[in-house]
Amino acid sequence: MEEVRAVAGKGLEGDRYHRKTGTYSAKDGPDRQVTLIEWEAVEALEREYGIGMDPGETRRNIVTKDVSLNHLVGLEFMVGVARMRGIRLAEPCGHMEEVSGKKARAGLVHRGGLRAEILVGGVIRVGDEIEAVGTNAQTHQGGGKKGGH
């Protein structure tokens, strides 16, 4: 998708957690509002493990580039106009492997992305900057919602 609306306290419009439908969507919590993954992790999966995946197959909402997501755990950050807080790493699960049909779990351990809470909503667009709030972190370019689940 080229753009998606982030809704504070709920998730991304159209996503299964926002709609409360689909696998695992009955589990509620701020760490289920939005997930991000680094494009570089998807590339490394193919380079190091020979497993090519479309970013949507990772079951993450937002694909970033040149952003160290692991460093955003516990921090607030902006994705365009939306303000988020990194909750925890999004470690890969067996369900991702079942849905994608690819044995990618081992290759994405500790680089499967970030689970975040939406604090202030707004429209997120492909190419929006991602920037940590209240730090001297550099501004990076991110990606809009990809694939989804």
Average pLDDT over residues 35-58: 93
* 6 or 21, greater pLDDT: 6
| CB proximity list for 61: less than 8 A, separation 6 or greater | 4, 12, 15, 34, 35, 36, 145, 146, 148, 149
pLDDT at 45 over 80: yes
Q: Is the full-model pTM beyond 0.85?
A: no
For residue 55, the model assigns a pLDDT of: 82
CATH superfamily of domain region 3-141: PK beta-barrel domain-like (2.40.33.20)
Average pLDDT, the chain: 86
pLDDT of residue 146: 38
pLDDT in tens, 63-75: 999 999 999 999 9
Asked if 85 contacts 116 with a C-beta cutoff of 8 angstroms, the reply is yes
The encoded tokens of residue 38 equal: 């680094």
Q: 42: helix, coil or strand?
A: helix
pLDDT band for position 31 (cuts 50, 70, 90):
confident
pLDDT at 53 over 90: yes
* pLDDT tens string 71-130: 999 999 999 999 999 999 999 888 888 888 899 999 999 999 999 999 999 999 999 999
What are the residue ranges spanned by the domains of the chain? 3-141
Provide the pLDDT confidence category of residue 149 given band limits of 50, 70 and 90.
very low
Rg of the chain over Cα atoms, rounded to whole angstroms, equals 14
Q: What pLDDT score does 51 carry?
A: 95
Q: Cβ(16)–Cβ(149) under 8 Å? A: yes
